[in-house]
Amino acid sequence: MERKHSPERLINYDILRILAAYLIVMLHLSVQYINKAPASVEEYLLWQQGVKFGALSRVGVPIFVMLSGAFLLRPEKNISLETIFKKYLPKLIAIFLFWSFFYSLAEQGFFEHIIKYGFSHSWNAINWTKFWYYFAQGHYHMWYLYMLAGLYLITPLIKHITAQASKSQLIYFVVLCVLITSVTKLNEDLWHISILHMILDKLSLSFFLGYIGYFVAGYLLSIYTPGWRISAFLFILGVFSLRFTYQETWSLNPMFGFNEPNLIYFSNYSPTVFFMSFAVFLIAAKLGFIKLWKPLRPLADQLPKYMLAVYLVHPFIIDQCRRAAILLPAKSAWSLPQNAFIIFIISLIVSIILMQIYWLVIRIIQLVFRTARC
């Protein structure tokens, strides 16, 4: 099977990026539904249904990582050390600094206090010791930027490996990543087998731990899309993994048998999340032939570039919507995807406005420097 070279814009992956952003919004909203022990039979049944939606939403972040691998590792993409350190990392650092500063202020109620007490009083009331610790750590969802920076650092090396590797070698690489990561995670949190821990420690295969498996898998599935038989098998495996994830989570958390739920299979390092993510990505890869209705194409071309902004702003939007009581009450698990859609749309609108302001500021700065040179 020959390698496929992808064009710059693929509508199937654009749609997948939008879907991933929506699922991440639903993931963060699902905390309200599944992280609290139910106090009645009715609440437990609601909790079980919330677990189903929560399990489905777990593929959001892995799909983002796989999409990054699909585009950054493709042969025609020139990713040198200079590109990483002069383009990708500075941009990522700037994004982190801005949003971490924003959320560090929000964490202390700065924006609400401005409305009540004014800027000066609110600024002086900030606890700067807590502020700088929170700033360095980042908001709970900003771990993704740290992880992405790590992937950027090794991208030139991984790109060299993927360019030279055969299809079977790439499959072996991904299988090894899934196996090492999954077994390590399950043993740490579920099995607690000391001899297995010793063996894994002595093997020293930490290079294959974490998100690098998703990163390379995105490239592999986009370049070497398997035939329909293998695709059908992977799809069935993904569906089975979804069912296993929520059913095993139910089994680990019997009614009135827990204070905090055991969500071991919800980890992005769980083998079931790996298989679910591969299945969803593969479906998108198989739909490369789709063509949107012409009037919708400009919209589909523009929306994906706002998805990172949606990811960054949506926790703040969730907090504001909860304070304003505009979300549907959590009386039914179906309110979770509906509330996720509300948050997603508001976050998208805010992201579009913010990005327009950003681009306007950049144009003004460029114009000022151009005028100064003249």
User: What is the tens place of the pLDDT at every residue in 220-247?
Assistant: 999 998 888 999 999 999 999 999 999 9
User: What is the tens place of the pLDDT at every residue in 315-361?
Assistant: 999 999 999 989 999 888 999 999 999 999 999 999 999 999 988 88
Q: Both tokens of residue 66?
A: 């796989």
The three-state DSSP-derived secondary structure of the chain is: CCCCCCCCCCHHHHHHHHHHHHHHHHHHHCHHHHCCCCCCHHHHHHHHHHHHHHHHHCCHHHHHHHHHHHHHCCCCCCCCHHHHHHHHHHHHHHHHHHHHHHHHHHHCCHHHHHHHHCHHHHHHCCCHHHHHHHHHHCCHHHHHHHHHHHHHHHHHHHHHHHHHCCHHHHHHHHHHHHHHHHHHHHHHHHHCCHHHHHHHHHHCCHHHCCCHHHHHHHHHHHHCCCCHHHHHHHHHHHHHHHHHHHHHHHHHCCCCCCCCCCCHHHCCCCHHHHHHHHHHHHHHHHCCCCCCCHHHHHHHHHHHHHHHHHHHHHHHHHHHHHHHCCCCCCCCCCHHHHHHHHHHHHHHHHHHHHHHHHHHHHHHHHHHHHHHHC
CA distance 205 to 172: 14
Task: Give Cβ neighbours of residue 89 (< 8 Å, ≥ 6 apart).
Answer: 149, 152, 153
User: What is the tens place of the pLDDT at every residue in 253-275?
Assistant: 998 878 889 999 999 999 999 99
Q: Report the pLDDT value the prediction gives residue 138, as an integer from 0 to 100.
A: 94
CA distance 184 to 204: 12
Q: Report the pLDDT value the prediction gives residue 63, as an integer from 0 to 100.
A: 98
User: What is the tens place of the pLDDT at every residue in 73-127?
Assistant: 998 888 899 999 999 999 999 999 999 999 999 999 998 888 888 888 889 889 9
Q: Report the pLDDT value the prediction gives residue 34, as an integer from 0 to 100.
A: 93
- Residue 355 CB: number of other CB atoms within 10 A? 14
36 vs 312: which has the higher pLDDT: 312
Contact, 310 vs 351, CB < 8 A?
A: yes
Domain boundaries, the chain: 58-290
Whole-structure pTM over 0.75, yes or no?
A: yes
280 vs 32: which has the higher pLDDT: 280
Q: Report the pLDDT value the prediction gives residue 4, as an integer from 0 to 100.
A: 52
Task: Give Cβ neighbours of residue 320 (< 8 Å, ≥ 6 apart).
Answer: none
Q: Report the pLDDT value the prediction gives residue 250, as an integer from 0 to 100.
A: 95
Query: Among 70-74, 110-114, 211-215, 287-291, where is mean pLDDT lowest?
Result: 287-291
Question: Can you tell me the mean pLDDT for 160-169?
Answer: 94
Check pLDDT > 60 for residue 2: no
Question: Can you tell me the mean pLDDT for 137-161?
Answer: 95
Taking all residues of the chain, what is their mean pLDDT, rounded to a whole number?
Answer: 91
Check pLDDT > 90 for residue 6: no
Q: Which residue has the tokens 């790590």?
A: 150
Q: Report the pLDDT value the prediction gives residue 372, as an integer from 0 to 100.
A: 67
Contact, 216 vs 162, CB < 8 A?
A: yes
In this prediction, residue 8 has a pLDDT band, given cuts at 50, 70 and 90, of very low
In this prediction, residue 298 has a pLDDT band, given cuts at 50, 70 and 90, of confident
User: Phi and psi for 338 in degrees, rounded to 5?
Assistant: -70, -45
Check pLDDT > 90 for residue 309: yes
Q: Report the pLDDT value the prediction gives residue 159, as an integer from 0 to 100.
A: 94
